[in-house]
Amino acid sequence: MSRPVEISVLQSLELFADLTPDLLKQLATASRLTDYEVDAVVFQEGDPLPPCLHVVVTGQLRVVKLAASGKETILRLLPPGEVFAAPALFGNGQSPATVVAATAATVLTLERQALLQGFAQTPELAVHLLVVFNQRLQELHSRVHGLVSERAIVRLVHYLEHVAAEQGTVTVAGGEELKAKLTYYQIARTIGITYEECVRLFKQLQPGVSYRRGGKITVTDWQGLREMKG
């Protein structure tokens, strides 16, 4: 069940942080928050999408694609602040992939008409959104290129670097621990390898990388990882 949005929620999101109080109030009246439990489906691939902007407020979502063979590929993990379901705004209105709550999560939806009015009042909002979508296209291009041409261990190193840059790290004894908790299964499905190969590759990355129960990954030698890319 959805609920109203407070202006403070919009202000906490980078996309809306610099907007005027009047515009924030206007957007808040056209927005709703929806909570999802772990593994709850936000959209199934092919589902019609409501004409709204979708933003992750708290928690994490998993975007997956299911092949005809039944194999699941994880396309992205969406942290707080991420915009998703772009076809709802600019496409055919159908979900191109399945979106699932990787953790308990809250999603904000903002009606398209209200967003367009916001563009008219603050063109910088439109530019910011275009930059976000352009980054997604570039990332998709890099992912496709990597899956075709790079060795599996190089794809793994690239992915660890990407997650560290996007979701951050915390300093721990001996290195940096990724804030994101990533299971072997998630990583394998993201970079196009099997679970067993993922386990084997992590052993090859030792001692520069350690993997602990619960998806906790600590990097002690970033330079050594970069050198593995050749």
Q: Which residues pair with 2 in a beta bridge?
A: 34
Pair 104, 217 in one domain: no
Out of 105, 131, 147, pick the residue that ends a domain: 147
Q: How many domains is the chain partitioned into structurally?
A: 2
One domain, residues 134 and 159 = no
Whether 148 has a pLDDT exceeding 60, the answer reads: no
Same domain for 38 and 87?
A: yes
Residue 146 pLDDT exceeds 60: no
Last residue of a domain, one of 96, 119, 147: 147
Q: What is the pLDDT of residue 35?
A: 97
Residue 94: which domain range? 2-147
d(CA 43, CA 22): 32
Instruction: Give 187-219 pLDDT, tens digit per residue.
Output: 988 888 889 999 999 999 999 999 999 899 999
30 and 143 fall within a common domain: yes
Higher-confidence residue of 150 and 107: namely 107
Residue-wise pLDDT for 25-66, tens only, equals: 999 999 999 999 999 999 999 899 888 999 999 999 999 887
Per-residue pLDDT, averaged over 127-133, amounts to 75
Average pLDDT over residues 22-26: 90
Domain final residue pick, 99, 118, 147 = 147
Q: What is the CATH number of the domain that holds 211?
A: 1.10.10.10
12: pLDDT confidence band, cut at 50, 70 and 90?
Answer: very high
Q: Which of 10-24, 82-96, 123-137 has the lowest mean pLDDT?
A: 123-137
pLDDT of residue 96: 85
41 and 116 in a single domain? The answer is yes
182 & 116 share domain: no
Question: Looking at the structure, do residues 99 and 201 belong to the same domain, yes or no?
Answer: no
Answer yes or no: do 132 and 157 share one domain.
Answer: no
Rounded CA-CA distance 208/228 in Å is 11
CATH number at residue 87: 2.60.120.10
Ranked by mean pLDDT, the top range of 15-24, 48-57, 129-138 is 48-57
Same domain, 14 and 122: yes
Q: For strands 216-219 and 209-212, give the pairing.
A: antiparallel
**Shared domain check, 175 and 122:** no
Decide which of 129 and 107 is more confident: 107
Same domain, 102 and 164: no
In terms of Cα–Cα distance, which of 112, 156, 162, 114 is closest to 136?
A: 162
Statement to judge: residues 125 and 165 lie in one domain:
no
Distance of CA 5 to the CA centre of its chain: 22
